[in-house]
Chains A and B, each alone.
Chain A
Amino acid sequence: MKNTKFILCLSCVVLSMASCRKDDSFIPEDQEQLPAEPSVELAGFYLLNEANMGSNKSSLDYYDFNSGNYRKNIYSQANPNATLGLGDVGNDIKIYGSRLYVVVNMSDKVEVLAAKTAKRIGQINIPNCRYITFYKSKAYITAYDGYVSVVDTASLKEEKQIAVGKQPEEMAIVGTKLYVANSGGYNYPNYERTVSVIDLNTLSETKRIDVAINLHRLKADQYGDLYVTSRGDYYNIPSNLFVIDTKTDQVKKTFNLAASNIAIDKDEAYLYSVEWNNNTGSNAISYAKINVKDETIISKSFITDGTDQSIVIPYGIAVNPVNSDVYVTDAKDYVSPGTLYCFDKAGKKKFSVTTGDIPAHLVFLNK
């Protein structure tokens, strides 16, 4: 009798308690109306927000050019069944064919989504994966363990690991050659200082081009040149920008210009740099526009209306391949929602929108 009463009472407590916590559910997407930018070629763009390490809050935003509708945090609603969501620190995003590939660094995976709906198709497991690129139905993914993983885009199976330098970062393809920027970040102060060259026919590393320490970004222009950035050592050796001629596979120009990230649109390259200055105790932020045809600096800024003053930490950059609008993201303090800015070709702000945490990587979706 006593036990029954006790259990009954306890059940009451349990029941009353259960109603107290919010029901478990995904966090629905959030929408904001921005100016429409109707385009014949482009449907929209995806923005990948990295979010802070360990937070598992990486998220996807989508902007629709026709309607001007900006949808935030779309992954969870599109894929409520995906265990623990998109993951921890999204590091790269690309579209190949009808699929959207999201490299999620700390989740050791590449998410494969339908490009139109962002619905999940599958995933590729690669420890400490960083960047992705494609060639003839194969995906090439850098992994910090010192290799490029070759994955068949039909089966999503890894077919080969091509050894490159330590902690490889961004890649670019010119002709039948894959170029990989090696950083060696885990080996400081003995950083790597080369770009690996991989023959895409034999899938093996054929040579390494000596550039500078701690390489990161690598972008190809339309003239067969590669723009590669060095992070420096954060002490005495500053960040720098180099040009590699892929015909000779040699460095042909050193800009002596700090560069954290670069986006190339036809003859123009846009870049920004964030460098910590120990003397002033603050970040030195700079922007630049380069002509890639004759490799000259056009101007030390591409934002002309003073908006650059309100950007705390530029963290991502992309150029609209059709109308040449420039998109710059602001990661602010890394732990608050960021901002995406859109500038026209003249450097005037068209709009800005609040994003997820650490907005970083942008990819355009064709119609």
Chain B
Amino acid sequence: MIIKHLAKCGIMHFFIGTSIFWTATLLPNFSWAQTDTTKINQLKDVQINQLRLSKQHLSPTPLQVLSGLELQRLNSLSIADAVRYFSGVQVKDYGGIAGLKTINVRSMGSNHTAVFYDGVQLGNAQNGQVDLGKYTLDNIDELSLTSGQRAELLQPAKAFASASSLFIKTKVPSFNNKLQNFSADVKGGSFGLANVSALYEQKLRKNLALFVNAAFLNANGKYKYRYTNGYYDTTVVRTNADIYSYRLEGGVHGRAGQEGQWYVKVYQYQSERGIPGAIVSNKFDFSQRQWDDNIFVQTHYEHKLSNRYSLSLYAKYANDYTRYNDPTIKSDKGALNNIYKQQEMYFSFANVYRVADPLYFSFSSDYSFQTLDANLEYFAYPSRNTGLFVLAGKYVQKRFEFQANVLATLITEKVKTFSAAGNRVEYTPTTMFSWQPFQTPNFRLKGFYKSIFRMPTFNDLYYTFIGNTNLRPEYTKQYDLGFNYNTHVLAGTLKNFSIQTDVYYNQVKDKIVAVPTLNLFRWTMLNLDAVSIKGLETNIKALWLIDRFELITNLNYTFEKALDVTKTGFTYRNQIPYIPVHSGSFTSSLAYTHYSLNYSFIYTGERYSQKANIPVNYVKPYYTHDVSINANFGKLKNYKVTAEINNLFNQYYDVVLNYPMPGRNFRFTISTKI
């Protein structure tokens, strides 16, 4: 009853809120002069939008994309901020700029989403998590999220090997009769934020370009938060939330003839940050710190050798270093100082062959080798060999497409002390279809079935005291059915309109959970839980050209019943922690000549912080409103300024219990492109 009330209430207010907002903004008559460039730009936007929608429209698996201008207009500093606007997504956010932010798609858990950076997975064999807060948006061209897997054949086996995938695509140099590109932006604002980034691109030869990208970020991370129960009312400043980081990225992009392309890039990220802990009674200050150093080199080569055969190669070496210091835990050796070192080698070869016109076959094979070192007592020093092999087929006609593949996973592990987890061979299938049932291409039905698993992480298996080498993989099964409706209206003000809706049913079994042993400090990992997830997600996009205005709106809504169905558990059929039944977002962007006004709203319904759905575990819904304005200026409109207000109504809330989020905050950006 309460759930229903709150949901209605939230959605209703959201509609009231947004309609009032737009009425208020649109009513007054602006009287700026119309320019031809506006029209041209508008049409370009329409075309780009249409193109992208068509890619989404044809995809048998749910595909959501944020790119270019849209990303810039989203009031987001990091990728974690931006992915909140995808439907079916919960971002676990520990607050502030430096706090850990991970993505959870369709409630299967963050370990089930693979994150790809320019085609190669960002690995973390230690704990399987990718902190999306580490990736700022300044060099990002496109973010796309697929449930199931990307409906492509020519891709690494890893892209077939997770329950959902987030693809991060960085900018690729492009030159319009120029030899160099330079762009830079400077950001500043709340939390003592200073963020500078610059990108330089040089055309070396006709088919060869060099790029260098550097970004520097510094913030004291301080913000006010408030906790009250109506009797006590306390406002405190979040401390030990500072961060200093830089990112350096450089490489070359090349073309091999008309049909081939390649790149080599080097990436380094270094940071030092405070780790603000859980705010509990009598404890508001913390002294834990963390240092990260991530380096990787990766390369890619792709070539369409004939109109029947294409191939793709990837290779990567990654070296990750993390140091964690806790001065409150003192031993004979001084403060607790844990160092973790991970290394990964990765190779991928994929090729696709067209047998007959509607029939394609592909084979992908990946190999990776991962190791983890740590300065812990009783540490196992594990290493893992993973071989992935995918055989896939696709039958594609204008109105019908069908794809199926089977993935074979072979894993062997070694340890220096104690015993290793056993070798493992798994076979998992995926099938998908997309069908245009009527004459009109505007409407398509689609669906997929995928069975996949995630391996226990090194922490799950080998962490001192906690790890359990008897763990089995954690399995998911996904069933999805949906439709896409996409229309391109040429008359009237509405130029594009699309709806993408999916209903899905996911099962997670043998879910790896921490269970207690002797006392609160001693846990172990077990394949214990089962989760049943029934959901609906919908994504409605529209683009209007109203006289001289261009308006893009995007509405997302997710309904999810994610129930704990662990037979041996104590909370059978309770909603699992931190998954709201209702959540959604609305974004809109109004552009006029060189100005744009953006508004975004995020709603996350009530949740429970622990397994039992009882009052002490209740976590209130939250909703944030963000607004930004940007303007291009200068002779060639080469300069842009942006002013953002985030959490406009200063709502105090926790995404993760006792990790307070910032209230109202501001950000200013000046950027240039030469």
**A-to-B contact residues, CB < 8 Å:** 2, 5-6, 9-10, 12-14, 16-17, 19-27, 50, 52-57, 59, 73, 76, 80-89, 104, 106-109, 123, 125, 127-128, 145, 166, 185-190, 231, 234-235, 239, 260, 274-276, 281, 283, 313, 331-337, 356-358
Contacts and interface: CB of A to CB of B under 8 A. Distances in A.
Contacts of B518: 231, 234, 239, 260, 274-276
Contacts of A185: 521
B488 to A, nearest CB: 33
B520 A57 contact: no
The bracket for how many chain B residues form the interface is: 35 or more
A10 B20 CA distance: 8
Contacts of B6: 20
Given A22-B620, A55-B609, A281-B526, A16 B232 contact: no
A1 to B, nearest CB: 8
Interface in B1-49: 6, 9-10, 13, 16-17, 20-21, 23-25, 27-28
Contacts of B623: 17, 20
B189 interface: no
Contacts of A260: 518-519
B278 A56 contact: yes
B412 interface: no
Contacts of A104: 281-282
B465 interface: yes
B228 interface: yes
Contacts of B547: none
A170 B423 CA distance: 45
B515 to A, nearest CB: 6
Contact of A27 (B280, B281, B615, B621): B615
A83 B232 contact: yes
A276 B524 contact: yes
Interface string B273-285: 0000111111100
Interface stretch (B96-104, B172-180, B323-331, B537-545): B323-331
Contact of B621 (A13, A21, A283): A21
B520 A84 contact: no
B627 to A, nearest CB: 10
Given A54-B278, A82-B232, A128 B620 contact: no
29 contacts: A5-B27, A13-B21, A20-B9, A26-B230, A26-B231, A50-B520, A56-B658, A83-B281, A84-B227, A87-B283, A104-B282, A106-B280, A107-B280, A107-B281, A125-B282, A127-B328, A185-B521, A187-B332, A260-B518, A274-B518, A275-B517, A275-B518, A281-B526, A331-B516, A333-B570, A336-B612, A337-B570, A356-B616, A357-B610
B468 interface: yes
B620 A21 contact: yes
Given A88-B278, A123-B282, A274 B230 contact: no
Nearest to B577: A335
Contacts of A276: 517-518, 522, 524
Given A27-B615, A108-B282, A336-B571, 9 more contacts: A80-B230, A84-B281, A85-B281, A107-B280, A128-B328, A186-B331, A281-B468, A333-B570, A358-B520
Given A5-B24, A186-B336, A283-B517, A20 B616 contact: no
A189 B377 contact: yes
Contact of A54 (B16, B234, B277, B569): B277
Interface string B616-628: 1110111101000
B84 interface: no
Contacts of A27: 615-616
B570 A332 contact: yes
Interface string B582-620: 000000000000000000000000000111101111101
B17 A235 contact: no
B533 to A, nearest CB: 20
A130 to B, nearest CB: 12
A17 B9 CA distance: 9
Contact of B611 (A53, A80, A128, A335): A335
Top-9 shortest CB links A-B: A87-B281, A88-B280, A80-B231, A54-B278, A276-B517, A56-B280, A84-B281, A336-B570, A13-B17
B280 A16 contact: no
Nearest to A89: B520
B649 interface: yes
Contacts of A83: 227, 232, 234, 281
A10 B231 CA distance: 28
Nearest to B468: A281
Contacts of B620: 21-22
A55 B619 CA distance: 12
Contact of B610 (A24, A86, A107, A336): A336
A24 B230 contact: yes
Contacts of A76: 229
A50 B280 CA distance: 13
Interface in B279-303: 279-283
B511 to A, nearest CB: 13
A9 B649 contact: no
B657 interface: yes
B470 interface: yes
Contacts of A81: 231-232
A51 to B, nearest CB: 9
A331 to B, nearest CB: 7
Contact of B649 (A17, A26, A231, A275): A17
B25 A6 contact: yes
Contact of B657 (A55, A86, A313): A55
A366 B170 CA distance: 70
B616 A57 contact: yes
Contacts of A127: 328
A345 to B, nearest CB: 28
A314 B228 CA distance: 35
A260 B519 CA distance: 9
Contacts of A332: 570
Interface in B513-536: 515-524, 526
A54 B276 CA distance: 12
A148 to B, nearest CB: 17
A149 to B, nearest CB: 16
Given A54-B277, A57-B616, A357-B610, A186 B520 contact: no
A272 B625 CA distance: 54
B25 A84 contact: no
Nearest to A20: B9
Given A88-B281, A128-B328, A333 B24 contact: no
